[in-house]
Homo-oligomer: A and B are copies of this chain.
Amino acid sequence: MPEFRQNLVTGEWVILAQERAKRPHDHGAERSRCPFCPGNEERTPDPVLVVDGDAVLGCDWAIRVVPNKFPALTPEGTPTEGHVGPYSTMTGVGAHDVVVESPVHDDGLATYAVEHLARVLGVWAERHNQLFRDPRFKYVQILKNHGQGSGASLGHPHSQIIAVPFVPAQVDRELIRAEEYHRSRGTCMLCDLIEHEMADGNRIVYSNDAFIAVTPFASKMPFEMWILPMAHSRSFGQLDQGSALLLADALRAIANGLRRGWGDPPFNLVVHTSAPADGPAACASYHWRIDIVPRLVSYGGFEMGTGVFINAAIPEDAARYLRALVSADAC
């Protein structure tokens, strides 16, 4: 049974999940061994959501959402706090979905048809909203680890959706900063940021009718990008079909730019969202975004000790390079 434990010194929670140690690690291309490939469906738990396949995919499903077989958290029970000496604990209640994004083993963000990727994004939004409706869950993290070195253990294209029974302190700080900004200026922080970035232009990597991708002004990691909806939107769960197609277009262009620049680099995709309007992570002033973080460099003890990252890639230079890579792909 997984357990939350709180770090007395920092206040941060960790998840201790022994089961995770047993998960298979396989970045190879051998379909017969892959638990996410068609024909091996019995090797995953029963799906919680399936999108039907079609003749093009040659499989009766296009997307499957299954509970993680080696979960970080368990969906049974009620989160219960405990104490051990000076320490605080909580039972490891939560949800841990795996989204098998495609039946095709070597497919991915760079190669999906835009319409297929839009369906994946729609599934993320649907599960995000379903999980936020469970009163036990206070935050939902959607993420994708791609490639060795990203934290991914399997090569078959998949993403993860993890619901936790509290608002993580790091998320809470963002929500509070967004609220404070809105209270003091009367505007949305990220709407202002987008306006500034569009006027400045130096950090724009890609844009279409609904989304803009920039290298953040204070990038922690080289070639890190933020993808932002240009129209104010509080929660990733508000993504509609039209926006999903445009977000898919942006993600596909960026994934191809990364491939063009670095082969097939490991990266993380991280959705930052706030809860539906009545939830504890709700924040009217929040503006959701997606971070794309290529894992090109490591970090060391300075970052661990201070939380301050040292980045040798100037965001304006990184954007210029990425812009060329991404637009080369568009040709």
Contacts and interface: CB of A to CB of B under 8 A. Distances in A.
A293 B300 contact: no
Contacts of A186: none
Interface string A177-196: 11000000000011011001
A145 B151 CA distance: 21
Interface residues of A, number: 79
Q: Among the interface residues A20, A145, A169, A307, which one has the most CB atoms of the partner chain B within 10 A?
A: A307
15 contacts: A5-B217, A7-B220, A8-B189, A12-B220, A12-B308, A14-B220, A14-B308, A16-B311, A21-B312, A84-B217, A145-B300, A168-B308, A170-B307, A171-B307, A271-B305
Contacts of A305: 141, 143, 170-171, 270-272, 291
Contact of A309 (B14, B192, B293): B14
A204 interface: no
A315 B8 CA distance: 15
Interface in A182-217: 189-190, 192-193, 196, 200, 216-217
B17 A311 contact: yes
Contact of A173 (B11, B18, B21, B178): B11
A164 B308 contact: yes
A196 B160 contact: no
A169 B87 contact: no
A15 interface: yes
Instruction: Give the copy number.
Output: 2
A314 interface: yes
A149 interface: yes
Interface in A25-41: none
A313 interface: yes
A72 interface: yes
Contacts of A310: 14-15, 17, 20, 72
Contacts of A291: 304-305
B17 A304 contact: no
B200 A85 contact: yes
B189 A301 contact: no
